[in-house]
Structure 1
Amino acid sequence: MTLLDIQNLTVEYPSRHGVFKAVSGASLTVEPGEIHGLVGESGAGKSTIGAAIMGLLERPGHIAGGTIAFKSDLISGLDAVAMQDLRGKKISMIFQDPLTSLNPLLTVGEQLMETISLHLGLSQNAAQQRATALLERVGIPDPALRLRQYPHQYSGGMRQRVVIALALCSEPDVIIADEPTTALDVAVQAQILDLIKDLARERQVGVILVTHDMGVIADTTDRVTVMYRGEVVESGTTAQVMGAPNHAYTKSLIAAVPRPQVKLKRFSQISYGGRETRFAIEDIARNWTRVETQADTPLLSVRNLEKRFPIAKSIFPGHSTYLTAVDDVSFDIMPGEVFGVVGESGSGKSTVARLISGLYPLDKGTVEFAGQIVSDPRDKAAVMQFRRDIQMIFQDPYSSLNPRMRVLDIIAEPIRHHKILSGSALTKRVHELLEQVGLGAAAAAKFPHEFSGGQRQRISIARALATQPRFLICDEPTSALDVSIQAQILNILKDLQDHLGLTMLFISHDLPVVRQMCDRVAVMQKGRLLELQDTETLFAAPQTDYTKELLTLMPHLEGLSDEGLDI
């Protein structure tokens, strides 16, 4: 019996400007034990299909046509009470953003136990045991301790694993996984995908896997449906769609995927529909003031960095418990180099970036930039110049932009802070930056919520370039973006490095992206630096067992079409 049968589904959002069709005539089925991949760019309608199945469409969105059936029973017309009985117990959903799907006022254990008790009717003691087992199953260390902690005490990847554990609580028949591995490193990603495959194989659970990661699709799914602007453009077995795509959009989408086995000159961008974005790097380079640095002298040197965070505080000295997030880390970054840092979630990558940038105070160690110690807050002149010379592009383009500020003020803020320009000259600089990142000067009057994720990330890049920095920290800059927008952003970063000689610290859990972007790579585990090599050597001959394991777990994409690659 088919678990899910979606036929000619149409979802509409009426507004005063007219009716927007988020999904138009989409059809797909999910069989017991099948993992069905749903791919496409941001805005293609993938998540809307998942929300329609769950009865979670945001008002005034509604199903305007077509049907959704669960085990031959029509569910697309059920009322709220009937859907509540079905939702969670029979059909579960893994949401993309773990921060918005977890209650910040409740411990992780309370949230898990509440769901388990509601759907399975277990006692509190039995629910606690099951919650502990679920956390262990999704790879969270010390699950008994972690049950008593709040979501903010988890890293982004660990919060995503909690959300997955919540979806598994009720042992559902169908799981809709909406970007379940977006914030996860390759080790945890492999663990979660193995768990999903085990559920499909052993318990005959049907899975709809919504993702922009084509490597995950190639390695995990049985069938694939490709969507473009709300419509299904291609569907078939994974081997056929990924290896020999028929539709021009599918070919273009696959060509944008970073390859781990070969270095590309540039990432292929989505050309279907004539939507390739122009980035005016020549205009930026023409007006850029370069600061010459000796090529054989490190631009940035960090020595013996250490950072500890309290886990459990005590009024008695020596009784507090601390987590050592960064433990005696040292490295140099040369001028014009792209220096990569990789490692699993919680390994200390982002903490190192925040220590270097001054967002976290150091417990021990020093940061030296262009020959000056900048980790000493008493040298205010050196710190202020360093803050102008170093800028950061954050992982999440949603939370790194102030939603109450217009784009003009967001980009102008660092220029005003460093007293570089004012008045009409400042406005002119902001408009130029927006033109140069392909958004246009008209974007200055808008708010962040009026842009897509990729456009927001380009606003972040414009803000980072506003002070003409010498050093960019890129903390997972593309992890939340689909492959087409990722290609745009990575090409922008490549152009900045090539034309302006910018030095970059590039943090990512996406090893194929690191393979394409970085000159040297540092591997971190549990706060320590395990290995540091040039990129080609690291990928060809890793020295530590941990690095070898990471590379083994990396999607190799052998089945993907190579049409359109710029090798």
Structure 2
Amino acid sequence: MSLLTINDLTVEFPTRRQLFTAVDHVDLSVEPGEIHGLVGESGAGKSTIGAAIMGLLDRPGRIASGTIKLSGDEISGLDTEAMRGLRGKKISMIFQDPLTSLNPLFTVREQLVETIQAHLGGSDAEVNKRARDLIDRVGIPDPDTRLDQYPHQFSGGMRQRVVIALALCTEPDVIIADEPTTALDVSVQAQILDLIKELATERQVGVILITHDMGVIADTTDKVTVMYAGKVVETGPTAQVMGQPSHEYTKSLIAAVPRPTLKLHRFPQISYGGRETRFAIDDMARHWPKVDNDTTKPVFEIRNLTKKFLQRKGLLPWDRTYFTAVDDVSFDIRAGEVFGVVGESGSGKSTVARMIAGLYPVDGGTITFEGQVVSDLTNRAALDAYRKNIQMIFQDPYSSLNPRMRVDDIVAEPIRHHKLMEGSDVKRRVDELLDQVGLGHEAGLKYPHEFSGGQRQRISIARALATQPRFLICDEPTSALDVSIQAQILNILKDLQEHLGLTLLFISHDLPVVRQMCDRVAVMKQGKVVELQETNDLFANPQTDYASELLRLMPRLDDLSTEGLSAEL
């Protein structure tokens, strides 16, 4: 008997205009000790299946037909009270965003203790010991201290470990992991995936792993189900589906995955359904200011850059303690290149980027842009002139766009701020930008929530290009996007760099993406640059143990089909 069985599941969301079918007659089963991967693009229905299993469908969503059985007992028809007793105890869920899963007002200990007592009971001493053991088991150092801290005092990777500890604390039979490693660096990702595999092997827990990361699927799962538009298009053993896919959509999806050993000139895009969106780079290039890309000249010279953050307040200076996020960092960025920065969470990557962008003040060292020291600019006019040429694409398109502003106002904001155009010229420029990033000028009348994640990132790119900058900072621009949308965004960035002569600072934890995008790479650890090499040299022959370890933990993707790929010779 299968641990979890889904038969002919259909989930519908009635709306005023139509009936939307999010999951369409899906069959799926999970055996004890099996890790079953669920993949597909945004909107495929993956997370909806997880919510249906947990009884957490958002209203007015409903299970229209089909059954969900746990160890042979049907659970899809249980009432709210019965489902509440099952949820957490027999079936647990690891959500994608740990910040929305943890209560910011309670310590980690309070949240673990509450969950354990609700489902398992026990004395205070027993429950606290169990909480401490769980924190230790998920690899959080110094558990006695960290238990009494709040979620905001943990990094993203550490918060995700706390969420996993919450999912494990009731010893469930089934765990649904919904994008558990999104936005985590390779070392933390490897530790979390090893923990999930250990649970499946040792305790025979059944796991449904929902993810857009094909490397995670290839390295972790036993079986995989591929979904498209609410339907299952292919299912089977992971090695078979990933290595010899039979469905055209699966082939197209796998072809869009960046490879660590095969450098591509352009990323193949999803061809199934004919949904490729054109990016009008030629139209943009005709109106772009000519850039002198003398590669012998550095655009940026970073020297001995240092940044400290206050860790503990005190009335007197000697009572205060500081955390050094960036420690004596130096490097140059050449004209026209894509300069990559990699490292674990907390290594200082994004802090360096924010100092270059002028969002953080510099505590030590200098930043020189095209011969001018900009790290100590105080004159508002000079600072605005610098920022016009330096634009940033942030990691999360959800939080980097104002939800109360229409898209045309979002894109127009930097044009108006820098007084580049007035009146109808602003509207014409915004329409051109939206057309050029493949959204169409009619998108300007909508709000950010009306777009998918990939479309929102295109809006962010249009906004960043509005001032016709000479330098783009890309801080994890594709980490939260599925592989097909990632391919579109990375192709856009490649076009910008090649055809407009833009210089890019590219920050990412995704090493295969860095391999494809970057000319040179700086490796950061604990605020310091520990290695800087040409990209090909770094991946072929890393010079430090730390870089070697990061590359070792990188998904190999050796067993993925290479159909449809064309190597850059």
TM-score of the two chains, using structure 2 as the length reference? 0.97
Indicate conservation of the 8 Å contact 2:293/2:501, yes or no.
no
Q: For each residue in 1:522-565, what CA deviation from the matched residue of structure 2 results, as whole angstroms up to 9, or x when unmatched?
A: 11111111100010000000011111111111111111100001
Q: Distance in 1 between matches of 2:157 and 2:473?
A: 20
2:327 corresponds to:
327
Q: Distance in 1 between matches of 2:260 and 2:253?
A: 17
2:400 corresponds to:
400
Matches within 5 A, 1:104-503: 104-503=104-503
Q: Distance in 2 between matches of 1:175 and 1:113?
A: 20
Indicate conservation of the 8 Å contact 1:522/1:532, yes or no.
yes
Q: Distance in 1 between matches of 2:145 and 2:359?
A: 28
1:35 corresponds to:
35
Q: What is the CA-CA distance between 1:214 and the residue it aligns to?
A: 0.5
Indicate conservation of the 8 Å contact 1:103/1:151, yes or no.
yes
The residue type equivalent to 2:247 in the other structure is: H
The residue type equivalent to 2:233 in the other structure is: V
Q: Distance in 2 between matches of 1:411 and 1:421?
A: 13
Q: What is the CA-CA distance between 1:101 and the residue it aligns to?
A: 1.7
Indicate conservation of the 8 Å contact 1:293/1:299, yes or no.
no
2:560 corresponds to:
560
| Structure 1 unpaired stretches of 5+ | none
Of 363-372 and 51-60, deviating more is 363-372
Percent identity over the alignment is 74
State yes or no: 1:51 paired with 2:54: no
Residue 392 of structure 1 aligns to a residue whose secondary structure is: strand
Of 349-358 and 450-459, deviating more is 349-358
CA, structure 1 residues 125+364, in 2 after alignment: closer, same or farther (shift >3 Å)? farther
Residue 317 of structure 2 aligns to a residue whose secondary structure is: coil
Root mean square deviation of aligned Cα: 1.3
Q: For each residue in 1:486-519, what CA deviation from the matched residue of structure 2 results, as whole angstroms up to 9, or x when unmatched?
A: 0000000000000011111100000000000000
Q: Distance in 2 between matches of 1:122 and 1:309?
A: 41
Of 381-390 and 186-195, deviating more is 381-390
Q: For each residue in 1:182-222, what CA deviation from the matched residue of structure 2 results, as whole angstroms up to 9, or x when unmatched?
A: 11111111111100000000000000000001111010000
The residue type equivalent to 2:436 in the other structure is: Q
Q: What is the CA-CA distance between 1:160 and the residue it aligns to?
A: 2.2
The residue type equivalent to 1:144 in the other structure is: D
The residue type equivalent to 1:234 in the other structure is: E
Q: Distance in 2 between matches of 1:564 and 1:343?
A: 31
Indicate conservation of the 8 Å contact 2:227/2:233, yes or no.
yes
Residue 395 of structure 2 aligns to a residue whose secondary structure is: coil
Q: Distance in 2 between matches of 1:501 and 1:209?
A: 41
Q: What is the CA-CA distance between 1:316 and the residue it aligns to?
A: 4.0
The residue type equivalent to 2:356 in the other structure is: I
The residue type equivalent to 2:251 in the other structure is: K
CA, structure 1 residues 137+183, in 2 after alignment: closer, same or farther (shift >3 Å)? farther
Q: For each residue in 1:120-151, what CA deviation from the matched residue of structure 2 results, as whole angstroms up to 9, or x when unmatched?
A: 32444444443343333333333333333332
Indicate conservation of the 8 Å contact 1:5/1:70, yes or no.
yes
Q: For each residue in 1:406-434, what CA deviation from the matched residue of structure 2 results, as whole angstroms up to 9, or x when unmatched?
A: 10111111111111112111011111111
Indicate conservation of the 8 Å contact 1:375/1:383, yes or no.
no
CA, structure 1 residues 530+126, in 2 after alignment: closer, same or farther (shift >3 Å)? farther
Q: Distance in 1 between matches of 2:311 and 2:126?
A: 26
Q: Distance in 2 between matches of 1:390 and 1:176?
A: 42
Q: What is the CA-CA distance between 1:293 and the residue it aligns to?
A: 5.0
Indicate conservation of the 8 Å contact 1:337/1:519, yes or no.
yes
| Structure 2 unpaired stretches of 5+ | none
Q: What is the CA-CA distance between 1:309 and the residue it aligns to?
A: 2.0
The residue type equivalent to 2:103 in the other structure is: N
Q: Distance in 1 between matches of 2:341 and 2:324?
A: 18
Residue 318 of structure 2 aligns to a residue whose secondary structure is: coil
Indicate conservation of the 8 Å contact 2:291/2:501, yes or no.
no
CA, structure 1 residues 380+7, in 2 after alignment: closer, same or farther (shift >3 Å)? same
Residue 130 of structure 1 aligns to a residue whose secondary structure is: helix
Residue 299 of structure 1 aligns to a residue whose secondary structure is: strand
Q: Distance in 2 between matches of 1:290 and 1:136?
A: 56
Q: Distance in 1 between matches of 2:368 and 2:14?
A: 56
The residue type equivalent to 1:472 in the other structure is: L
Q: What is the CA-CA distance between 1:84 and the residue it aligns to?
A: 0.6
Q: Distance in 2 between matches of 1:431 and 1:234?
A: 40
